């Protein structure tokens, strides 16, 4: 019923949706900025959240930030997200393979306006 992130896109689709080149997308992955899942054949599959994250990265980059700053930004961000996500998730289904759940967006916003 509550479908958060079900669709996965191949890198070609992500290129169009983000405006980034496949080269950049793969490079950012090597830098630990995104963690797409792989298919049996080894192809990357990105979630909607991955796309959103890449768009944020593109904007930060265009705004003059270097990848190092962006990476640190995301790490702090992810750290806070874990703090508010883990307590509200059943230990049985804790598979943090992807990004933050949309269901915590409200909590996310509060957290952001506080800092």
Partner DNA sequence: CTTCTCACA
Partner DNA sequence: TGTGAGGA
Three-state DSSP at 89 gives coil
Note whether 24 binds DNA by CB under 7 A: yes
C-beta closer to DNA: residue 57 or 99: 57
Within 10 Å of residue 11's Cβ, how many Cβ atoms? 17
Residues sharing a CB contact under 8 Å with residue 68, sequence separation 6 or more, in sequence order: none
Contact criterion met (CB below 8 Å) for 99 and 50: yes
Note whether 35 binds DNA by CB under 7 A: no
Rounded (5°) CA angle 59-114-51: 30
Note whether 41 binds DNA by CB under 7 A: yes
Residue with tokens 């958060």: 4
Note whether 10 binds DNA by CB under 7 A: yes
Angstrom distance (rounded) from CA 22 to CA 108? 29
C-beta closer to DNA: residue 5 or 15: 15
Note whether 69 binds DNA by CB under 7 A: no
Q: How far is the CB of 29 from DNA (least distance, A)?
A: 8
Q: Which of 23, 95, 114, 115 binds DNA (CB under 7 A)?
A: 23
Interface residues toward DNA, by CB under 7 A: 10-13, 21-24, 26-27, 41-44, 61, 67
């Amino acid at each position: 019923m509550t479908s958060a992130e079900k669709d996965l896109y191949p890198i070609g689709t992500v290129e169009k949706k983000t405006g980034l080149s496949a080269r950049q997308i793969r490079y950012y992955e090597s830098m630990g900025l995104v963690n797409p899942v792989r298919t049996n054949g080894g192809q990357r599959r990105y979630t909607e959240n991955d796309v959103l994250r890449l768009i944020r990265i593109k904007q930060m980059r265009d705004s003059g930030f270097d990848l190092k700053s962006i990476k640190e930004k995301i790490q702090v961000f992810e750290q806070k997200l874990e703090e508010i996500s883990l307590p509200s998730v059943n230990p049985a289904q804790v598979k943090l393979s992807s990004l933050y759940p949309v269901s915590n967006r409200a909590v996310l916003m509060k957290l952001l306006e506080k800092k």
